[in-house]
Chain A
Amino acid sequence: MRKKLTAAILAAVMSIALIACGSADPGSTGTQAPSESAEAAPAEAAPAEASAEESNPADWPVIKVEILSFTDAQEKEPEIEQALNEYLVSIDAGVQADLLPIAIGDRATTLTLMLADPDNPIDLFGWRFYSTVPDMVHNDQIISLEKYRDVYPDLWDLFPEDVYRTCQVNGEQYSIPGADSFGNFQVYAMRKDVAEEIGVADKASTRITLEELNDILLKAEEAHPELCWHGDTAVLPLQGIDNFGETAWLGVLLNRGVDSHEIINYYASPEFRAYCEQCKWWKDNGMIVDDPLNNTYAGYTLMNDGVGGGYLFEAYNCEYALSLMKAQIQYETIVFQLTDFAGNNSCVYNGWNISSVCRNPDAAMKLLYLMYTDPQVCRYFTLGIEGLTYKVDENGCAWYADGKDVNNVGWNLSAPWFYPNECLSLPFETDYAGYFSDMAALWSDNSLKYSEAMGFVFDKTPVFDQYSACAAIVDEYRTALLMGQVDIDDYLARFNDELSANGIDEIVAEMQKQFDEFEASKN
C-alpha cells in the first residue's frame, strides 16, 4: 500500500513536471520539428513585414537590442529609445527598436537566460566579452545570416573580405564583424614629465626598437625607482604571434604566418623563452609592479594611482594612442611605437548577430543593417541625443552636453567600440577629429599587411577536454613567467611537461588540420 501510494505520488509529480516543462519548452510545443520551425519563421514573417511597412508604425515588429552599460541603470533610455523610433518612422524603416541596457558584469548571465527564453528574447546582441562565434553556433544561440547577403549586399562590402571570414562557420556568415582597425602595433606610453627629465621626449611618437626601449626604461628606473614601468606584459604584437583570438595561446602562428604556415606550440618555442627572459630582465631591474600576481596590473590604473610610470598597449596610430591616453590617464603622456603596423591577429574582437530565439529575424536584420550604415541610427546608440547627452564642437568632435558628466548623463557614451560600426559615430572627448575616419580609411588601404591566417577561426569542440585542461595549466604558470617572478629554466620545463602530459600536441595538431582546411577552402 505504502509503495503504491509512493509510486502514485511520484507519477503525479513527474507528469506535472513533464506537462509544465512541456508547455514551457519551445521545442515541444507547436511545430514538432524545431529546425523546420526556425527556418519557417522568416518565411512567415516576411509577408507580414511587407504589409506592415505600408501600415501603421505601431504594428511594426519591435526588435530588442542590448545596450552596453557600466552601471545598472541608464536613465535616459526611454527618451533615446523614443527618439530613435521616431527617426525609424521618419525613414519608413519598418522596424521599431526596444533598447535594453545590460550591466556589463551581469551581462553573461542575463544574455544566456534571455537566449534560452523565447517569451522574453533578446534579438540583437554583440558577442564581445560574451562568447565566440563557433561556440554560439555550437550552442544554437545565433542564426545564419547567409540569406540576407543578397538583400543587403553593401553590408558585406564595408570591410576587407577576409574580415568577414572571422565570423563565419563552415563558410556561412553567422555574425557581422564590428568595425575596428583590424590591425595595430605595440605602443609604449610613458609619463611626459619623466620622459623630459631623462631626455627622451624627442623620440615621442617615433618608431624605436626594443633595445632602445630597454635603455629608456633603465634611465627611467634610475630617475624614479619608486615607479614601475610595466602593467600587463602579456601583449601580442611585441611577441609577434597570431593567437587566433584564443587567450590561452595554445597554438600560434609566428610572424603572421609570413615565413611558415606551421602552427606551433608556442610555449615550447625559443621565441617564448626569449620573451620570458626579456620579462625576467624587466623584473630584475625593478620595472615590474610589486606583487604582480595579485595586484591589478592594468597599466592605466597603475599610472593613475601614481604607482606606474608607463605601460605597453596597442593602437593603430600614435595620435589615436595619445587621444586614448588623454581620456584615461590624469598625467600627460607620450608614446613610442615598438612594432610595425600590421594585422597581427587573425581575429576580430566583436561582431553582431541575431539570436535564435528572435521571432522576426527579417526586421532584426533591417535594424542591424541600419546600425551598420546609418550614422543617425548609430549615434543614438553610441552618443544618445544631441543637446541632451552630447554636444558637437567646431571640429566635429562630441563632448558631454553642458552640465553633464559621466555620473549624471544617464547614457553610456564611452563604449562606441561595442556597437556595430563606431566609425559612423563622432570622436568623443578628444580633439583628434580623425579618430574614426583614419580607422575607416584603413579598410580600403591595400598596403595593410594582415596575418596569413586572417579569417581563420579555431573550433575547439573536437579537443575540448584537452583544451580546458591545458588552458587551466596556462592560467597556473604563464603569469608568473611573464611577470618574471620565477626561475625560467625550472619553471618553463615543468610548464611544458604538464602541457604535453595533458594533450597540447593534440590541440596543435587539430588546429593545424583546421587551418589546412581553411587554407584549402580559401583557394
Chain B
Amino acid sequence: MKDEAARLGRQAQRRTLRKRIYKYRILYILALPAFVYLIINNYMPMVGLSLAFKNYSFAKGIFASPWNGISNFTYLFGSKWAKIMFRNTIGYNLLFIALGTVFAIFVAIVLGEVLNPRAKKIYQTLILIPHLVSTVLIGYLVYAFLSYTNGFVNMSIITPMGGEAINWYTEPKYWPFILTIVQLWRSFGFQSIVYYATIIGFDKSYYEAAVVDGANTWQQITQITLPLLRPTIIILTIMALGRMFASDFGLFYQVPMNTGTLHTVTTTIDTFVYRALMENHDVGRSLAAGFLQSILGFIVVMITNTIVRKIEPESALF
C-alpha cells in the first residue's frame, strides 16, 4: 500500500516536472545561447586547471605534460611571505567588501533623495569617472598626491600648515589606509549604481503608504529601503566573497609603484605570484595559485550560501 502511494506520488511529481519543463520550454531555448557561451568560454578552458598539478611543457601541450603532484604549490607556503600575502589578501578584501557595501548603499540612498533631474545626472556622471581611469594612471595620480618632494599633499597641505613632509612611499604604516581610500574612491560610483537601480525600481506605493502613516525619511530608509535591498546586498556580498582570495593586481602593484619597502603591506597572493614568475613563465605554478584562490573562495561561498539558505532561502544564490 505504502509503496503504491509512493509510486503514485513519484509519478505525479514526474508528470508535473515534465509539465513544468514543457511550460518553460521556450525560456530554456532562449537561454540556450548563454549556456553554450559559458561552456565554450569558461568550462572548456577549465580543463587547463589540471596544469596546476603538472609540469607544463609548451611542446607537449596540456594533456601530455607530466604530472608533478603538488610541487607547484609549495612556493606559496613556507616562507615569510605566506603569512603576509594571505593576511593581506583576506584582510583587504574583507575591509573592501564591508566598507564598499556600506558606502555604496549610502551613496545610492543619498542619490535617490536628490530630486533635481539635472543635478542627478551630473552627480551620476561625475562619480563614475574614477572607474574609467586605468590603474596605471591611478598609480601616477596617487604619486602626484603623495610624492615626497613635490606631491600635492606634502607641498600644498602639510608643509604650509607647518607640518613635516611625510615620505609616504617609505612608510608601510600609511598604506592600508591609502589603499582603502583609493579602492573606495574608484569603486563607489560604480558599485552604487546597482543599488540605485534597485532602489528606484521599488514599488512607490510602499513609500506613499509610509508617508500616510507619518514615517520620516530615516524611518523610510530603515523600514522600507534597506529590507527591500536585502536580497541584492546578500547576493552581491556572496559573489564578492567568492573573490576573497583574489586581489586587484593593479591596486596592489601599480598604485604603490611596486616599492620594495612597502611590500609587507602591499604583497597579496597575486602580486607575489607575479613577482615570483615574472621571468619563468611557469604556467603550472601560476595556475596552482589561481586554483588555490578559487578553491578557497568556493569553500567560503558554499558555507555562506548554506547559512543564507537556512535563514532566508529566497536570498540564497543557489
Residues of A that sit less than 8 Å from B by CB: 1, 13, 16-18, 20-22, 25-28, 34-35, 38, 108, 112, 115-116, 130-132, 135-136, 138-141, 143, 290-291, 293-294, 356-357, 464-466, 468-469, 471-473, 475-480, 485, 498, 501-503
Contact = CB atoms under 8 A, between A and B. Distances in A.
B74 A17 contact: no
24 contacts: A1-B14, A17-B39, A21-B63, A27-B62, A34-B60, A140-B57, A290-B149, A291-B169, A293-B259, A293-B260, A294-B143, A294-B148, A294-B257, A294-B259, A357-B59, A469-B80, A472-B79, A472-B263, A472-B272, A475-B260, A477-B261, A478-B260, A480-B170, A501-B80
Contacts of A20: 40, 44
B279 A27 contact: no
A503 B80 CA distance: 11
Contacts of B60: 26-27, 34-35, 140
Contacts of A130: 279, 281
Contacts of B46: 17
Contacts of B14: 1
Contacts of B281: 108, 112, 130-131, 135-136, 139, 141
Interface of A is mostly: helix
A21 B62 contact: yes
A465 B272 CA distance: 12
A293 B261 contact: yes
Contacts of A501: 80
Interface in B231-278: 257-261, 263-264, 267, 272, 275-276
Contacts of A25: 61-64
B236 to A, nearest CB: 27
Contacts of B261: 293, 476-477, 479-480
B147 interface: yes
A503 B81 CA distance: 13
Given A13-B39, A480-B260, A498-B80, A27 B64 contact: yes
B150 to A, nearest CB: 8
Contacts of B283: 139
Nearest to A129: B279
A18 B79 CA distance: 37
Nearest to A290: B149
A87 B167 CA distance: 59
B17 A1 contact: yes
A475 B272 CA distance: 11
B80 A502 contact: yes
B47 interface: yes
Most buried by A among B61, B65, B148, B263: B61
Contacts of B64: 25, 27-28, 34
B260 A465 contact: no
A466 B75 CA distance: 8
Contact of B61 (A27, A472, A477, A480): A27
B222 interface: no
Contact of A115 (B39, B58, B80, B276): B58
A465 B170 CA distance: 27
Contacts of B80: 469, 473, 498, 501-502
A479 B170 CA distance: 11
Contacts of B61: 25-28, 34
B128 to A, nearest CB: 28
Given A139-B57, A356-B58, A21 B47 contact: yes
Given A139-B282, A141-B281, A356 B59 contact: yes
B43 interface: yes
Most buried by A among B40, B58, B261, B279: B58
Contacts of B205: none
B168 to A, nearest CB: 9
Contacts of A498: 80
B56 interface: yes
A464 B71 CA distance: 10
B263 A475 contact: yes
A502 B280 contact: no
Nearest to B65: A27
A378 to B, nearest CB: 27
Given A38-B59, A140-B59, A468-B79, 6 more contacts: A132-B279, A135-B279, A141-B59, A294-B143, A468-B275, A469-B78
B190 to A, nearest CB: 26
Contacts of B260: 293, 475-480
B253 to A, nearest CB: 12
